[in-house]
């Protein structure tokens, strides 16, 4: 359930823009981690928005279209599996989030504005104020919207990856460690897009 009091309180304190930030694919065995940074129109509220994990795929797709067509601006950033293996998933997640926020600020030329970012469960290296909040993707409207846009984008990537790597049923499991996915890795071996640090317990 979104807590709009936090966002309304920030507007009342004089912030021009709130940036909601979230990631998807953090626990996946395959492919990129994706972050979204988004700014909604001031005082705008999208009915039915909540943490993307609590929405059906059909509902996510519908809300995603509404959000991206009416938001003030958004930015998506990905960090690939090789970088995840090199710097670890926590640092890769932070990097994706940082890039998404900085790209959004640059694209919208917000350098002279009073901005604050609300980030789901992470602190990142930014030159603007930020709030790190556990479960922000379920509590904060901006972050819920970011989670939906990031999730739909990454799900679409998984559908495309599934055409390139058809052995792993990525369009279904989205790269996560389902029983079937693990069995398919054991049967066919890992691809060059699997996260080696995530599957090392499988013997790879």
Position 3 pLDDT exceeds 80: no
> Tokens in use for 44?
């705008």
Q: Are 47 and 2 in contact (CB under 8 A)?
A: no
Q: Of the ranges 5-9, 59-63, 67-71, which one carries the lowest mean pLDDT score? A: 5-9
Domains, the chain: 4-156 (3.30.420.10)
In this predicted structure, what is the pLDDT of residue 41?
A: 95
Residue indicated by tokens 């049923």: 169
pTM of full prediction above 0.85: yes
What CA–CA distance (Å, rounded) separates 24 from 51?
11
Measured on CA atoms in the order 115, 54, 135, 127, is the torsion positive or negative? negative
Residue 63 CB partners (closer than 8 Å, separation 6+): 46, 48, 49, 55, 148
In this predicted structure, what is the pLDDT of residue 2?
A: 67
**Interhelix angle 141-164/57-70, nearest 10 degrees:** 120
Residue 204 banded pLDDT, cuts 50, 70, 90: confident
């Amino acid at each position: 359930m979104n807590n709009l009091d936090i966002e309304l309180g920030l507007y009342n304190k004089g912030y021009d823009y709130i940036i909601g930030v979230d990631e998807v694919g953090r626990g996946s065995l395959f492919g990129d981690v994706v972050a979204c940074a988004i700014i909604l129109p001031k005082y705008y509220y999208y009915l039915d928005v909540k943490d993307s994990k609590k929405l059906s795929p059909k509902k996510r797709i519908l809300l995603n279209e509404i959000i991206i067509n009416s938001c003030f601006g958004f930015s998506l950033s990905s960090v690939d599996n090789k970088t995840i293996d090199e710097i670890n998933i926590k640092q890769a997640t932070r990097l994706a989030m940082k890039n998404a926020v900085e790209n959004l600020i640059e694209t919208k030329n917000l350098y002279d504005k009073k901005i604050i970012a609300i980030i789901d469960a992470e602190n990142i290296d930014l030159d603007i104020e930020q709030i790190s909040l556990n479960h922000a993707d379920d509590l904060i409207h901006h972050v819920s919207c970011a989670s939906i846009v990031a999730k739909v984008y990454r799900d679409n990537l998984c559908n495309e990856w599934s055409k390139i790597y058809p052995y792993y049923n990525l369009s279904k499991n989205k790269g996560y460690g389902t029983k079937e996915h693990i069995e398919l890795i054991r049967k066919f071996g890992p691809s060059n897009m699997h996260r080696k640090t995530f599957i090392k317990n499988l013997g790879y």
